[in-house]
Amino acid sequence: MNENATAYQDEDALITEMIDGKEYLMSPRPAPRHMTVSTNIHHIFKRFLKGKKCKAFLEVDVHLGEKDTLVPDVLIVCDKDKIKPNGIDGAPDLVAEVLSPATAGRDKGVKKTAYEKAGVKEYWIVDPESKSIDVYHLQNGRLEFVDTYLVYPDWEWDRMSDEQRAAARLSVKVSLYDDLLVDVREVFEDI
């Protein structure tokens, strides 16, 4: 077998996650829309975190324990001791999962439960279709729903009253830093 054949096989290898000891097949390759949103979030985090102790990662193995190895779309880790050559060893501080049709149920169910049990402080479920972000914060050992942040279509924004516009959630305040506000429109830019 030549060198190119091996590289080709490695590229096409099936990627799996293990959650509570059960192996799950991930989507073959993320669609462009999914990757655009993931990359946008990663760039926002990376730009803000430059020179700070926390680091942003894109699609890296996260080892939560013997029975749990997940590959979140985007994550932030503040404890540098958790960053190992083979991935992240322990709970990230923030995880963002971008929904795709094949994995949405898992992201909202067993993955959320695994992150909760491991102690992830903040969890985002990002929906490219509705251009929304559901945010959860760890409180008393449970990931509790905080709010939904979304991009309003122009026609809806134009019909809203001044009070409704003032109440609209257009920026997510990341719990890890007092001054990290993420503009939802930037998350969904170019989709």
164 three-state secondary structure: helix
Find out whether 90 and 80 touch, Cβ atoms under 8 Å.
Answer: no
The number of distinct structural domains making up the chain is: 1
- pLDDT by residue (tens digit) across 17-60? 778 888 877 766 678 899 999 999 999 999 999 999 999 999 99
34 three-state secondary structure: helix
Confidence of residue 147 (pLDDT cuts 50, 70, 90): very high
CATH number for 25: 3.90.1570.10
The strand pairing partners of 77, in sequence order, are 55
| Rg of the chain in Å (alpha carbons) | 18
Check residue 106 and give its pLDDT: 86
Structural domain harbouring 58: 3-187
Sheet of 16-19: strand order equals 22-25, 16-19, 68-70, 62-65, 87-89, 83-84
